[in-house]
Amino acid sequence: MMTPEIGFQPENVRAMQAIYFASQLEDLKIFEVVDKLEALFSTGMLPLPGEKTAGLLQAYSKQPTRRMTELERRSLYRRAFGLPGGDPTEGSPNREFNDLWLRFISAVSSWDRQVRRESRAGGCLPVQANEEVKQTARDLAANLSLHGAGVTYFAAVELQKQVDAILMILSHPEIREAYGARDMWQVVDQVLSAKLSGAANNIRCRTLATTGVTIISWLAEHAQSLSCDSALELDSNLINACSEWLAAADISERIRQASRVSQH
């Protein structure tokens, strides 16, 4: 494992947020959903009363060369996080990420349980993270920084633009109204069920995406503390994100996926 002797680059870690978020929503098929909305609109099967939503879809449809294809996205997820799929000739997978990720999240959850036990027992509550949390945070942040550099960083910027455009389309009131949906996630479910291959596990995918972003963001924000011997305090946002991620994730399946990737 790598410990950052002289620190790591927080901007590289932040770049990995966009890739992680997209990788989890890939399972929710939001890219396919917006492609389907674009196709329906272009053939007149999705009438929209306002010009703004139509403009968003038209702008999206006119920039196919600037959008990453599914193969390109999955190749990026493979390089960034060791996820299966993509082009195996496009760089080496990040084989260490899954283990480092689970170690850190487990260390935070273990620390939180310890704090709660001592609170119930009337003991002295620790206000700072223990050495296990800090070390696993360093190792994970160093890994993210290393794999978020160079071409991955620039790919993350482009992918973030694509995701932002997709979320803007899916959350627009006229799109929601067209499907009688309360929010963008109901739009996704309805398009998947009616026009594509069926609904995915919406809540699970969203939870993994949002909590993963919170965890990676925390690592980037605490780069200075992780790179030196200063005290490191955990906050409720990180603790809750780790707890929710563990509750939503199928850990055994992720371990099997990481094992399959490491064998190639």
pLDDT: which is higher, 254 or 215? 215
pTM of the model: 0.85
Residue-wise pLDDT tens digits, 190-244:
998 887 776 668 889 999 999 999 999 999 999 878 877 777 888 899 999 999 9
pLDDT: which is higher, 130 or 263? 130
Q: How many CA atoms lie within 13 A of 176 on its CB side?
A: 12
Residue-wise pLDDT tens digits, 89-114:
988 999 999 999 999 999 999 999 88
Domain boundaries, the chain: 10-262
With 60 as the cut, is the pLDDT of residue 2 above it?
A: no
pLDDT band at 261 (very low <50, low <70, confident <90, very high): very low
pLDDT: which is higher, 262 or 69? 69
> What is the arithmetic mean of pLDDT over 31-37?
92
Percent of the chain with pLDDT strictly greater than 90: 56
Percent of the chain with pLDDT strictly greater than 70: 86
With 80 as the cut, is the pLDDT of residue 123 above it?
A: no
End-to-end CA distance of the chain: 20
pLDDT of residue 29: 92
Contact between 219 and 13 under an 8 Å Cβ cutoff? The reply is yes
> What is the arithmetic mean of pLDDT over 118-133?
68
Show the tokens assigned to 241. 């994100």
- Closest listed residue to residue 167, CA positions, set 200, 204, 210: 210
pLDDT band at 23 (very low <50, low <70, confident <90, very high): very high
Please state, in angstroms and rounded to a whole number, the distance separating the CA atoms of residues 33 and 38: 9
With 90 as the cut, is the pLDDT of residue 57 above it?
A: no
DSSP 117-144: HHHHTT-PPP-S--HHHHHHHHHHHHHH
With 90 as the cut, is the pLDDT of residue 163 above it?
A: yes
CB burial readout 68-91, b (16+ within 10 A) else e:
beeebbbbbbbbbbbbebbeeeeb
pLDDT: which is higher, 214 or 43? 214
With 60 as the cut, is the pLDDT of residue 258 above it?
A: no
With 50 as the cut, is the pLDDT of residue 3 above it?
A: no
pLDDT: which is higher, 246 or 64? 246
Please state, in angstroms and rounded to a whole number, the distance separating the CA atoms of residues 264 and 254: 16
